[in-house]
Amino acid sequence: MNRFLYYLVFLNMMAIITTPIPSLLLIGAHGGAIPTMVLGLFTGMLISFFFLKFFNKFPGRDYTELLKAYTSNYLRVPVTIYFAIVWYLAGTITLVMLTFLLITFLTPEMSIYLIAISILITVAFGVLLKSKSVLFAVEIIVFLVVPIAFFLFIKLYSSSELDWDQVRTSLMYSNSVPKYGVFTATLFSFSGIANLIVFNRYFTKRNTNHLGAVLIIGLFGVFTLVTTYFIPIGLNGFDQVDRLIFPWTSAADSVRMKYGIVERAVFLFMLFFVAISFMSITVHWHVSYKLIQSLIRIDKLQMRNNNWTPFLTVAVFVAVAIYLTVWLTQYQLYTYSAYYFNAIPIFIIVWAVTMFAVKRGHDNEPLA
Amino acid sequence: MSRWHKKGLLVVTILLISFLAGCAYKSVDKRSFVVSVGVDPAENDDDRYKVTLKIAKPIASLRQATETEYTYLTTEAETVSEAIRILETHNDKVVDFSQAKILAIHHELLSGDLQLLMDYFTRRGDIQLIMYVAAAKPSAEEVLKVEPILEAAGENTLYNFFDDTGTESPFVTTSFLFEFRRDVLTFGKDAVLPIVRTSKNKDELVINTALVIKENHEPVDLNRTQTKLYNTFMEGANGYGYQAHNSGYIFTLTFDRAKMNYKLGIVPGQTPQADIKVKAVGAISQSNKTLSLNRLPEYSEVTNKELSKEMEKLFKKMQKEKVDPFGFGLRYRATRFHTDQIEEDWNEIYPDLVFNVQSDVKLKSLGAIK
């Protein structure tokens, strides 16, 4: 099952392009974004290493199970709720951003409700799948999307209008002080590995080559960060790059396929990123849903052999998401998601504390 | 899934179908596709801009149509967006900008405030950033209204000029909307727009000169030779049309490949230098004398002298006019760490910059005769 780990990490990194992260990175372009991204890259790799090492100790067991076995309810319940919210919001940010993208570039006349609902119907089905099926779906999407992504990236990098002097100018700002907002946004792009808290159930084999895995993850990270950061600068210019609200879509809109079936590469880009972000929302929400399932099971919703709690959970997910999509303005989306990313270190601390608790519990009574 | 789940799902699905009242997309016959947008200064004193939309008329089939049919909507308003709002009321169909590929701007508007003029086009997500931008003479409206005799049904002459699938002349500058925006907003590089002119009897379009645009600065004209050199060495254009008059020879050359590299040698206390290397590979396509194959290096040398002279003249003209279409300023910023006064430093350096042009043309062939 090892390859699925890379799919999860890769998916999350690709999906950052449809979150506010590119523009949060580019806001720091005139002050220390580059050193911060390097710092974030190493921190992200370090955290990935600890995640891998921890879960490798418990092959085939997910996090909720471990919490149940080795910690008290006073720790387990609040932590699970907190994690569920964190994962739910990660999916929701992508959803709102995707809706905004579609309404700005693809279907300006369509109602926002209709766009959100048409995304959510598919996502809701995905969330209710078995964890294993979600992993398979991720694999299919990665395999369908990688050729298009590869083609698009070659198009972008080989575009004759890409101005490398703009890119070099941006490098000349790397002597500035790192920025916290950029740092946390970079960390988030490495968070795909955290999905292990649910999917570790299917990673039953022990793997000892953590360093190799972390190195591959680091390479993915370098490639995504370089692409997300420098392509918009090279195509849309460095001096006012922080004024772009969708830097990546604008970059993709600046590339032309002279003899292509469609001339505007942005449509290919849309196809690609809609698929990626669908899958990313599904994975995030699925994790959140599984965490909630480990806490709540309402007996009143029992009908014959079936319990309808999962449907209720997903219905709540969908309702809250629609409300947020309609209510949020662009400004709020960017400000609140910046708050969300800035709170990621809290998540890492909480996770580290529970990790130590589980480890100590395990050392005291290894058979529980 | 149990039977209950399946039934529940079926009911939900049927309920959802009733919400599908219709397609969110308006169908093609309810849309009018704008192919070009033109902006002119208003004739009326109360207004600021005159906007012209060139709209393609739907035709049933290409075989029946003998010529292209366009219609034009024109109005004046205080801003571009307001004018387009007004034009939407002149038309029973949805004005659709997804096919708009030409933005023609009256040449006089390019010296004024570009922010207000360009904002609408870059802010709207459904207007493509790979739209072609051109300066229009005598006016955008007249340029858009030209329907050349050679234009076939379903064709747009201006597209063919710019998109490199029709004519590929080194005289035609291509500038995309995103490129124009980028270069106008960048300190150290200025945008270049092609000038589209109408011929005297208004049935032809002529594009062979260009305009250097800098914000809050008068646009600088490039003549035909300068436009050609700019296109060859900055945009990678090539083809026929290079002249060399030197040592009694008159050559017309074709370039297959051409490129330019430059290095800035800027040391405090010394005269700032720009070492420019111009490289080209080509053939002779016309000559006033009989030529011989073993003297190709000599012909290359003749061309080199001519080319270096022309390039240096062009750089010096740009320097004198205080514009920088070749991006020397951007290169300056790209080769040293950023400081707060880097832009002022460059403004002091640029007028003193000395250009050392070294050209390396390799002529490979004489064509079919000696």
User: Which residues of A lie inside 8 Å of B (Cβ-Cβ)?
Assistant: 104-105, 107-111, 114, 121, 160-161, 163, 165-166, 168-169, 171-173, 175-176, 235-240, 246, 249-250, 253-256, 258-259, 263-264, 266, 303-306
* Residues B196/B104, Cβ–Cβ less than 8 Å: yes
User: Quick check: B245 contacting A, CB < 8 Å?
Assistant: no
CB contact under 8 A, A166 and B330: yes
Interface of B with A in 120-139 (CB under 8 A): 125-126, 128-130
pLDDT band at A139 (very low <50, low <70, confident <90, very high): very high
pLDDT in tens, B72-104: 889 998 888 888 888 888 888 888 888 888 999
- Among A275, A271, A261, A284, which Cα is nearest to A340's? A284
**Per-domain residue ranges of chain B:** 26-222, 232-370
pLDDT above 90 (res A281):
yes
Q: Mean per-residue pLDDT for B5-11?
A: 82
Best of A161, A243, A269 to mutate (most B CBs within 10 Å, chain B):
A161
SS (H, E, C) chain B: CCHHHHHHHHHHHHHHHCCCCCCCCCCHHHEEEEEEEEEEECCCCCCCEEEEEEEECCCCCCCCCCCCCEEEEEEEECCHHHHHHHHHCCCCCEEECCCCCEEEEEHHHHHCCHHHHHHHHHHCCCCCCCCEEEEEECCHHHHHHCCCCCCCCCCCHHHHHHCCCCCCCCCCCCCEHHHHHHHHHCCCCCEEEEEEEECCCCCCEEEEEEEEECCCCCCEEECHHHHHHHHHHHCCCCEEEEEEEECCEEEEEEEEEEEEEEEEECCCCCCCEEEEEEEEEEEEEEECCCCCHHHHHHHHHHHHHHHHHHHHHHHHHHHHCCCCCCCHHHHHHHCCCCCCCHHHHHHHHHHHCEEEEEEEEEEEECCCCC
Cβ-Cβ contacts under 8 Å for A278 (sequence gap 6 or more) = A119, A122, A123, A126, A141
pLDDT digits (tens, 9 = 90+) for B280-289: 888 888 888 7
Instruction: Report the pLDDT averaged over residues B298-317.
Output: 87
- Residue A365, pLDDT > 80, answer no
Q: Which architecture characterizes domain B232-370 according to CATH?
A: 2-Layer Sandwich (3.30)
Could you tell me the pLDDT band of residue B21, with boundaries at 50, 70 and 90?
low
User: Could B186 and A236 be called an inter-chain contact, meaning their C-beta atoms sit closer than 8 Å?
Assistant: no
From B183, which residue of chain A is nearest by alpha-carbon distance?
A: A237
Q: Note whether B160 contacts A: Cβ–Cβ < 8 A.
A: no
Local confidence band at A73 (pLDDT 50, 70, 90 cut-offs): confident
B176 touches chain A (CB under 8 A): yes
Do B181 and A237 make contact, defined as CB atoms within 8 angstroms?
A: yes
- Are the Cβ atoms of A107 and B125 closer than 8 angstroms? no
The mean pLDDT of A318-332, rounded to a whole number, is 90
In the 8-state DSSP scheme, what is residue A32?
A: T
Q: Percent of chain B, pLDDT > 90?
A: 7
Is ipTM beyond 0.90?
Answer: no
List, for residues A9-32, the tens digit of each pLDDT value.
988 988 888 888 888 888 888 888
In chain B, what residues touch A105 (CB-CB under 8 Å)?
125-126
Size of interface A-B (CB pairs under 8 A): 96
Q: Is the dihedral of CA A172, A174, A176, A181 positive or negative?
A: positive
Q: Give the pLDDT band (50/70/90) at residue A60.
A: confident
Query: Does the distance separating the beta carbons of B327 and A253 come in below 8 Å?
Result: no
B186: nearest CB among A111, A239, A250: A239
**Mean pLDDT, range B16-21, rounded to an integer:** 67
How confident is the prediction for chain B on average, in pLDDT? 84
Note whether A266 contacts B128, CB cutoff 8 Å: yes
Q: Which of B18, B93, B177, B182 is the best residue to mutate to test the A interface, defined by the most A CB atoms within 10 Å of its own CB?
A: B182
Q: B338, A175: Cβ pair inside 8 Å? A: yes
- Taking the C-alpha atoms of residue B154 and residue B291, their distance in angstroms, rounded to an integer, is 46
Asked if pLDDT for residue A367 goes beyond 70, the answer is no
pLDDT of residue B65: 65
Q: With contacts defined as CB-CB under 8 Å, which chain B residues touch A266?
A: 128
Best mutation site among A113, A169, A174, A330 for testing chain B: the one with the most B CBs within 10 Å?
A: A169
Q: Is B331 on the interface with A (CB under 8 A)?
A: yes
Distance from CA of B95 to the nearest CA of A (A): 12
Nearest to B128 among A110, A259, A264 (CB): A264
Q: Give the mean pLDDT of A337-359.
A: 89
* pLDDT in the model for residue A81: 92
According to CATH, the topology of domain A2-364 is Amino acid/polyamine transporter I (1.20.1740)
Q: What is the pLDDT of residue A282?
A: 93
Element (H, E) at A360: helix A344-364
For the stretch A299-311, pLDDT in tens is 776 777 777 788 8
Does the CB of B295 have a partner CB in chain A at under 8 Å? no
Q: Which pLDDT band, with edges at 50, 70 and 90, does A368 fall under?
A: low
Instruction: Enter the tokens of residue B296.
Output: 């190709």
Predicted confidence at residue A155, as pLDDT, reads: 86
- How many angstroms from the chain centroid is the CA of residue A104? 22
- Residue A262 has a pLDDT of 78
Pairwise CA distance, residues B215 & A203, whole Å = 59
pLDDT at B127: 85
Report yes or no: B330 at the A interface, CB cutoff 8 Å. yes
Residue A320 pLDDT: 92
Chain B hits for A236, CB-CB cut-off 8 Å, are 178, 181-182
Residues 6+ apart with CB under 8 A from A173: A29, A30, A31, A32, A33, A34, B337, B338
Residue A144 contacts by C-beta under 8 Å, 6 or more apart in sequence?
A: A275
Q: How far apart are CA A95 and CA A326, in angstroms?
A: 11
- B214 close to A (CB below 8 A): no
Cβ–Cβ below 8 Å for A238 and B4: no
CA A247 to chain centre: 18
Chain B, window 5-34: residues with a beta carbon less than 8 angstroms from a chain A beta carbon = 5, 16, 24-26
The answer, for B164 touching chain A at a CB cutoff of 8 Å, is yes
List CB contacts (< 8 A) between B125 and chain A.
Answer: 104-105, 108, 246, 249
Q: B166 and chain A: CB distance < 8 Å anywhere?
A: no
Provide the shortest C-alpha distance from residue A285 to chain B (in Å): 21
Stronger pLDDT, B338 or A208, i.e. the higher one? B338
Shortest distance between the Cα of A198 and any Cα of chain B, in A, equals 22
Assessment of whether the complete model's pTM goes beyond 0.90: no
- For A250, the closest of B26, B129, B186 (CB atoms) is B129
pLDDT of A241: 82
Q: Is the dihedral of CA B40, B42, B48, B51 positive or negative?
A: negative
Domain ranges of chain A: 2-364
Please indicate if any CB of chain A lies within 8 Å of the CB of B146. Answer: no
Q: Are B335 and B256 in contact (CB under 8 A)?
A: no
Return the pLDDT at A87: 92
Two tokens, residue A54: 């921890």
Q: Quick check: B2 and A304 CB within 8 A?
A: yes
